Amino acid sequence: MNQSFIKIMSLLSIILSLLLISCKSEKFESETNRMYFIVSEISDDNEFQTLGLIDLDGYSFLTHISKPSTLNIEVGDSISLIANQILESYPSKIESKDIRIEDKSKEKYQKIISEIYWIKSRSLVDDNNHYFYQNNDKLDTSAKWYEINNDIEYFIAKPGEYHKIKVLKKFKNDNSIDFELISVLKRIEDENFIALINTNISTDKEVYELGSPIILTTTINNNSNKSYSFLPFGTPFEDTLTNDCLNITYNEEVIDYRGILVSRMPPSTDDYIEINPVSSISNSIDISNDYIFDKKGDYKIQFKDKFDGPSESNIIKISII
């Protein structure tokens, strides 16, 4: 009887040891999945809160917290969580547990929840984009702008655009603004902005008879102090269009391209056209056979932005009678 009891106790001891090892292993593996974020946005639903998160590399994620929650999380807080699973979506969704509010970033950062800034992008004489900011709720183009000396990661603005942003953090030690963690609220285009390199289109007439040729002139202006090269393939700088490069609409409906399509070998440096500093280049072609202008009325025409080619152009209107 004693032998049987001893065997049973030994077996129970082994099972208990295995369970303890298993628990320790699970906890260790879970901790290796702990991730660190800054909370960029919070939205409430009836059953849970959705947290918008930005990790240390600037990537965006979402996670949910069941309600009610004992955590008093605010926008700008540094948190950590254990990721059970990361679902493929944009932003990526994290099935999380054991969310904690971290204190280590609070020594470096100070929250700014209500600070609103405007950022503008401009190309200067060095042909590079430079960002400037002003601390106003309403855009005042005549107010003083301050240049941002550091790059703004994960933020792209074309020259001539204004972005209204909310800054979620700023550095505490020297009171300088940290533009790495921002929320874009609005984008406005500057109608008076003229880029250093711009594309302009025009037609020989404003009104055409049905079936008559439509001569489109495309001009690229290089107002910079450097030469500018572009690839003319599939643009109006060829004798005949070889690709759909124009956005043409009739009653807000896109007109189909019916011209030829050409496949080419990769371009060489000899295929590029160079425009000297403070110079321009133009070319005129008939587009009436490449697009379907078979109805009377008003048409809008715009050159589409192309990789290694001219930038997006102005929009013009013609009428067919």
The verdict on 297 and 246 lying in the same domain is: yes
Amino acid at position 270, single letter: D
Q: Is residue 21 part of a domain?
A: no
Q: Is residue 246 part of a domain?
A: yes
Q: Is residue 272 part of a domain?
A: yes
The verdict on 114 and 100 lying in the same domain is: no
User: Is-cis flag, bond preceding 277, omega within 30?
Assistant: no
Q: Is residue 17 part of a domain?
A: no
pLDDT in tens, 28-48: 345 667 888 888 888 887 778
Among candidate residues 79, 104, 129, the one where a domain is terminated: 104
The verdict on 146 and 240 lying in the same domain is: no
The predicted structure's pLDDT at residue 6: 56
The predicted structure's pLDDT at residue 112: 45
User: Quick check: 280 pLDDT over 60?
Assistant: yes
The verdict on 156 and 204 lying in the same domain is: no
Mean pLDDT throughout 12-39? 57
The verdict on 68 and 153 lying in the same domain is: no
The dihedral built from the CA positions of residue 61, 67, 69 and 71, taken in this order, carries a sign that is: positive
The verdict on 210 and 270 lying in the same domain is: yes
Mean pLDDT throughout 250-271? 90
**3-state DSSP assignment of residue 105:** helix
The verdict on 73 and 116 lying in the same domain is: no
| Residue that the structure tokens 């008003």 belong to | 298
Residue 55, domain CATH: 2.40.50.140
Among candidate residues 104, 130, 154, the one where a domain is terminated: 104
Q: Phi and psi (nearest 5°) for 219? A: -125, 135
Of the candidate ranges 40-49, 178-187, 282-291, the one whose mean pLDDT is the lowest: 178-187
- C-alpha 80/C-alpha 117 separation (Å) is 29
Q: Is residue 16 part of a domain?
A: no
User: Is-cis flag, bond preceding 213, omega within 30?
Assistant: no
User: Quick check: 124 pLDDT over 50?
Assistant: yes
The predicted structure's pLDDT at residue 84: 81
Amino acid at position 279, single letter: S
Q: Is residue 19 part of a domain?
A: no
Tokens of 140: 């005042």
The verdict on 202 and 305 lying in the same domain is: yes
The verdict on 292 and 215 lying in the same domain is: yes
Q: Is residue 26 part of a domain?
A: no
Report how far Cα 242 is from the mean position of its chain's Cα atoms: 30
The predicted structure's pLDDT at residue 161: 83
Contact by Cβ (8 Å): 66, 48: yes
The predicted structure's pLDDT at residue 210: 94
| Most confident of the following: 97-106, 109-118, 170-179, 294-303 | 294-303
User: Quick check: 125 pLDDT over 70?
Assistant: no
| Residue that the structure tokens 């965006």 belong to | 60
Q: Is residue 118 part of a domain?
A: yes
The pLDDT-based confidence of 207 (bands split at 50, 70, 90) is very high
Residue 203, domain CATH: 2.60.40.2970
The predicted structure's pLDDT at residue 17: 53
User: Quick check: 111 pLDDT over 60?
Assistant: no
Tokens of 37: 């974020």
- pTM value is 0.49
Of the candidate ranges 83-87, 116-120, 151-155, the one whose mean pLDDT is the lowest: 151-155
Contact by Cβ (8 Å): 122, 130: yes
Mean pLDDT throughout 230-256? 92
- C-alpha 158/C-alpha 169 separation (Å) is 24
Percent of the chain topping pLDDT 70: 74
Among candidate residues 56, 85, 104, the one where a domain is terminated: 104
Q: Which domain holds residue 128?
A: 110-189
The pLDDT-based confidence of 11 (bands split at 50, 70, 90) is low
The verdict on 49 and 125 lying in the same domain is: no
The verdict on 213 and 264 lying in the same domain is: yes
Report how far Cα 192 is from the mean position of its chain's Cα atoms: 23
The verdict on 174 and 281 lying in the same domain is: no
21 sits in the region (left: phi over 0; alpha: psi -120 to 50; else beta) called: alpha
How many domains does the chain contain in total? Answer: 3
- C-alpha 162/C-alpha 111 separation (Å) is 24
